[in-house]
Chain A
């Protein structure tokens, strides 16, 4: 039988086109830009000394704008605006309709015409889908899910994990 495309596999190692920031131990995050738990995790992770890799895991039946937002973030990435738009969305998940996205682009200096074309492109959709499918293969079933040292941590990270990540930096 042909191998199933969504059978189990570890989260892929960071690639050049992954969205990464920070320095320290590797932390791979599967998240949904409309998910309030992901917004909470973002607050907890933002000051941690980790190498943070963001991957999209939009769950549309739970968050109707999730995939639209993932595509928007990828379109912004093509103008080096992934993290600014990511942070803008995570800081305010109450205004997510198209006019709100356009206003965010204006504030962030993202070219709107290019953004509008890019966020509807097949390349951007495939980029988001790549992340989502790698998450399914890694067993992600909720957002956020964090991977540290090959182990999955579903949900908002608890103090035990956060403390361990902080102390690893101190031990380095």
Chain B
């Protein structure tokens, strides 16, 4: 489609129901960032209850309606159901409506075709359907807050029978998940076909930027891991709406009433297997695009090639494969015997090897560099130790014996948040600062970027570092009031510290929000390649027009030809042949 034709499109076709990958990428990005903010806001309310159990919520207590809060003589407090709903929806929103849509739908859609030298995705209409399915899923999830009984409150894992007997919000959650999973499936097929079929001449697989590899492997994970959860979601819907018993055993007695209407014979464990068969690969769906972004930013700002590029690629593929055979380490406490647990412990130990390789490649890439401390680089660098802490603390959870004590404690929360929050989210921030000039033709403010980075770095550690100690003390996750238990009361001070850090972290996002919107209109205007980068996206105009490139690029070299001896500049674009 020509640029002229694109301009002929009416507003709603060009910016709303667009089939252009860049518009869809930006739609995903904006929507996902709004959901991230919402998800963070929900947990900020929860953290008040955790820090000051049973006390009136100041200022906003009255604004929270429905089943979330209950009225006291002096104000409003969070209810047990409200707390559980906020917890379940925080997890769901952050993962399925925030991080994955931003990492894959946002960055993948915007950057991937550009890095491939492609004019668009292979299936633009499928791409649009993917976004709108995601959007509809998000609307359903949000609407669930307003139904009787409130939103889903059985945890983001929705274990039956609790989820099967929960209020209507759980039905909405399941419908929402079906839409979100459908969105991911449509997107992943598109990404795979685009990567393989719609790449520029000369762009062989080992000339792919690492980001492309990361997105490709991620797409396979989405394609192969999500269908079991979609099937499981439909089965749970049947249990709730059609009185089937896929996940319900016989003889349930709930609140003293024998559940005679349940035919029984189902297995609660079946759901757990189906759920974690998706949810562990999902962890890598969250991580791999982040690693891809960090790889791009590090190569660009060290001004040298990534160390061990092929090792990175093979490690990523191996990581993706292994992620399918570790799921049951989330279920060690279900009564697993020696043989099965040893298998899953072994695979869990094995999966740490490619993770170590990737991290090693990233850090050795710093050796001999000339590091530019740009805002994207600050976030990318911070990602490395945060991801390392997240990865290392996975070890005690991957061994059954140490997992006995740490399973379902705050140690788990600390572990996966180090991977996903100061890990993946920092990488996503790096990506926003890095590709913002490509999307808008303007650069975000460095001052505001650093004002965003440093407090965020400090406070995010203030939130999650204490959780290792809280978990080590035995405090269990999903506790409305940890002081109800002796071991929880002993470390309440750390929980107060984590809560204050979370609120300060929320405030620390204000410079970013202002910077993002202000820079769209007032940011410093920059050329097509402000970072002096090598990959193809930087050789399209900023912002790229419909169709992306004036002429289809031809690729002559690898993705990170920085500081090549004998060249005029310290970067050699992929679409320019190296000088002899």
> Do A and B originate from a single complex?
no
- List the interface of chain A (C-beta within 8 A of B): none
Q: Which residues of chain B have a CB within 8 Å of any CB of chain A? A: none
